[in-house]
Structure 1
Amino acid sequence: MDRIHVSTVVCMPAAAVYDFLVDFPRYAKYSAYLTDVTADGDGSPGTQYRLRFAWWKLAYIARTEVTDVDPPTRLDWRVTKDIDARGCWRVEELDSVPAACPDEGPACRVHLEVAFDPDSVGDGVVDLPRFVSLDWVIGKVKPILLDEAEQVVERIVTDLEGRRRDVDLVVHDTPDGV
């Protein structure tokens, strides 16, 4: 399994951050490649999402499901077809306020963790142009996935805090070959 794990500090209480993260359909505005998200449910376990991605000449609809929640600290999900992938958002309340936060108010560390098996993607999952191999696409997409994870977290911090600031993003894990 390849892994992506990024985290950063958010200058807000964990409960407010968690409530924001549960509202998954808004994520479409954070990614250049995620064009649409529809939900069937309220973010609790069993909620299913349909995510429409577009990159280069390719389009793909991913289907995910919330598998577990532990408010306000954890939201787990998995992809339900075409690829073996799962992930979670984790929110940890911090005991001390870091320098990134201008006020003395609460702060937390937000983690985005994703594990996926690129070899689990079978032929025919994505309608590829002629003479383009799935291996080539996977090789091109892996670095994009890490970059997108970083950008999504940065954009979420901006919306949560209501201001743009330099986000100190910690990259804990990257996909193999990136």
Structure 2
Amino acid sequence: MDELVVSTEVYADPEEVYDFLLDFPRYANYSEYLSEVRTVTGDGGPGTRYALTFAWWKISYTARSEVTGVEPPERIDWEITKDIDAGGCWRVTPPETDDADEEASDDGPSGDSDANADSDANADAPCEVALEVEFDPGSASSDALDLPRLVSFDWVLKKAIPLIRSEAERVVERAVRDLEGSSRDVDLDVYVDSDRI
């Protein structure tokens, strides 16, 4: 399995970030090659199925995905359900709290004001959002695509796999900008374990 993780900080409430990311049909607004995400069944929770229509070069393909698990407000797991072994998750990590302030909040009335001050300080602290993707390019089915004459499936894979990284980066950057309501340079941390990506 090849792995890609794109993460960054976002200045938004973790619950708001989670609800935003749970809206899979919105992702078509952020991707160059994802033209439509249609809900097939479900309300966004586990078991919700989507049809994702990708268009690149002379090829159009509709992938099927399913939400396999959720842990509000910190995790949304999903998988592709046909033609390729792939899946991943969105992770939302709330800002860290200061343990000393938490201990002080246990000390009675004076601790309450400390807890409020800590809460106010954390309101300005960013949470981390990460998109994690795992896939096995060798599991891709050549029967899934209707290719133009004289175009090999191996050529398509060789050209398409490197696009996964740029698309993941684009989705995370644009989601952060919408969540924050402003345009800024978004610093991304990118981890890949394959030279194909």
Bin for the TM-score computed over the shorter chain: over 0.9
Q: 1:115 Cα deviation (Å)?
A: 0.4
Matches within 5 A, 1:45-124: 45-95=46-96, 105-124=124-143
**2: CA distance between counterparts of 1:150 and 1:17?**
17
Count of matched residue pairs: 172
Letter in 1 for 2:154: D
Matched, 1:168 2:169: no
State whether structure 2 residue 28 is matched by structure 1 residue 14. no
Instruction: Please state how far the C-alpha of 1:117 moved relative to its aligned partner.
Output: 0.6
Do the aligned partners of 1:44 and 1:66 also contact (CA within 8 Å) in 2? yes
The answer for the alignment partner of 1:99 in structure 2 is none
The structure richer in helix per residue is 2
Residue in structure 1 matched with residue 149 of structure 2 by the alignment? 130
Aligned partner of residue 87 in structure 1, secondary structure:
strand
Structure 2, gaps ≥5 residues long: 98-121
Q: Counterparts of 2:194 and 2:51 in 1: how far apart (Å)?
A: 24
Secondary structure of 2:142's counterpart equals coil
Q: Is the 8 A contact 1:8 1:168 kept in 2?
A: yes
Structure 1 Cα separation of the partners of residues 190 and 162 of structure 2: 13
Deviations 1:14-41 (A, max 9, x none): 1110010001111111011111111121
Partner of 1:23: 23
| Distance in 2 (alpha carbons) for counterparts of 1:57 and 1:3 | 27
TM-score, length-normalised on structure 1? 0.92
What code does the residue aligned with 1:114 have? V
Moved over 4 A (4+): none
Q: In 1, Cα distance between the equivalents of 2:160 and 2:142?
A: 16
Q: What are the superposed Cα offsets for residues 142-169 of structure 1, whole Å, 9 maximum, x if unpaired?
A: 1111000000100001100000001010
d(CA) in 1 for partners of 2:33, 2:150? 23
Structure with greater Cα Rg: 2
Please give the alpha-carbon distance, in whole angstroms, between the structure 2 residues aligned to 1:46 and 1:177. Answer: 31
Shift of 1:174: 5.0
**3-state SS of the aligned residue for 1:171?**
strand
User: 1:35-50 counterparts in 2 under 5 A?
Assistant: 35-39=35-39, 40-50=41-51
Q: For 1:79 and 1:162, locate their aligned partners in 2 and report how far apart those are by CA, in whole Å.
A: 30
Task: State, as a whole percentage, how many aligned pairs show the same letter.
Answer: 56
Shift of 1:124: 1.5
Q: Letter of the aligned partner of 1:159 in structure 2?
A: D
Q: Does the aligned pair in 2 maintain the 1:34–1:52 contact within 8 Å?
A: yes
2:172 is equivalent to residue 153 of structure 1: yes
The answer as to whether partners of 2:13 and 2:123 remain within 8 angstroms in 1 is no
Q: Is structure 2 residue 160 aligned with structure 1 residue 141?
A: yes
Q: Secondary structure at the match of 1:124?
A: helix
Q: Per-residue displacement from partner, 1:119-152 (whole Å, max 9, x unpaired)?
A: 1112211111112111111111111110000001
Gaps of 5+ in 1: 97-102
